Amino acid sequence: MLSYRHAFHAGNHADVLKHFVLVELLRYFNRKDKPWWYIDTHAGAGCYALESEQAGKTAEFAGGIGRLWQRDDLPAQMRPYLDALAQFNPHGRLTFYPGSPAIAMTQLREQDRMRLFELHPADAALLAQTFAHDGDRVVVRKADGFAGLRGLLPPPTRRVVVLIDPPYEVKDDYRRVVDTVADAVKRFPGGTYAVWYPMLARAEARQLPERLAGLGADSWLDVRLAVSKPSRDGFGMFGSGLYIINPPWVLPETLEAVMPWLARNLGEEGSGAFDLEHHIE
């Protein structure tokens, strides 16, 4: 249950989609001076060395951020995401990839706060070390983020972005995601909740967006990026998606401009594709 380590997958196509959108969410929140909270239920280790043995073993970043780094034809809307990555690679060479909490940290202001959960002992220790210098704004907890989220809602600021990004190693993760989001929306209906999910052949993965839609949120957005066709044997992740409750009203326009480009440039052998659905009140 605790075997998943994101270091093997850092910077892949799923990270590109997830972190591009995360930057856009927090940039929107930064339009106002009022403070916000960022809560990450499965924060990982914080930052990943792409030349490490773990990252090098799979080299998934080569098919993700590796295809975008230092491109001169990026859509303008992607520049803030690449600027965030550049803070971890100041000399121009892509050697580090920031995880979700480190990405969020690039947008954090003095008045904002982060609450990070990680259950894996080794990753939790690395995460705490990464943010040890900023204990006033960032709290790291070695705990189950599904359960821990309950105690943080509603946040004192009444403005929050919650990222729910489990490894989906076990089938029960799918159920817990839906139950956690349902509970969170009841506790604080005004929060922005972003759920990352893998595109897999298994029924639980295919049904997850439908189950999230079944929660009945008034405002929602579902974006998916496929980078290959499903394998004949039914194994392997061929894309990923984000289901967002209470997304910024400007996000669909941004995604409509960026997703065709991402599908073309991250798709394998011309098989890239995307879907975008939304209803925002």
Residue 1 included in any domain: no
Residue 200 included in any domain: yes
pLDDT category at 53 given cuts 50, 70, 90 is: low
Residue 270 exposed, middle or buried by CB count within 10 Å (0-12, 13-18, 19+): exposed
Residue 1 is predicted with a pLDDT of 46
Lowest mean pLDDT among 53-57, 133-137, 139-143, 191-195: 53-57
Residue 3 is predicted with a pLDDT of 44
For the chain, the 3-state helix, strand and coil shares in percent, each to the nearest 5, are 40, 20, 40
Query: Using an 8 Å Cβ cutoff, are 246 and 64 in contact?
Result: no
* CATH code of 88's domain: 3.40.50.150
DSSP classification of residue 278: E
Residue 31 included in any domain: yes
Residue 138 is predicted with a pLDDT of 98
pLDDT digits (tens, 9 = 90+) for 126-144: 999 999 999 899 999 999 9
Residue 189 included in any domain: yes
pLDDT category at 8 given cuts 50, 70, 90 is: confident
**Residue 26, domain extent:** 6-279
In the chain, the amino acid numbered 96 is F
CA 100 to each of CA 14, 42, 91: distance values in angstroms, whole numbers, following the listed order: 12, 9, 22
In the chain, the amino acid numbered 271 is S
Average pLDDT of the residues in 199-205:
93
Active-site residues: which are they? 165
Residue 217 exposed, middle or buried by CB count within 10 Å (0-12, 13-18, 19+): buried
CA 109 to each of CA 105, 106, 137: distance values in angstroms, whole numbers, following the listed order: 8, 9, 9
pLDDT category at 59 given cuts 50, 70, 90 is: confident
pLDDT category at 54 given cuts 50, 70, 90 is: low
Query: Using an 8 Å Cβ cutoff, are 160 and 115 in contact?
Result: no
Nearest Cα residue to 208 out of 221, 195, 226: 195
At residue 138, what are phi and psi to the nearest 5 degrees?
-120, 125
Asked whether the predicted pLDDT for residue 55 surpasses 60, the reply is no
Q: Residue 74, SS3? A: coil
How many folded domains does the chain comprise?
Answer: 1
Mean of pLDDT over the chain: 93
Residue 44 included in any domain: yes
Residue 4 is predicted with a pLDDT of 47
Asked whether the predicted pLDDT for residue 20 surpasses 90, the reply is yes
Asked whether the predicted pLDDT for residue 234 surpasses 80, the reply is no
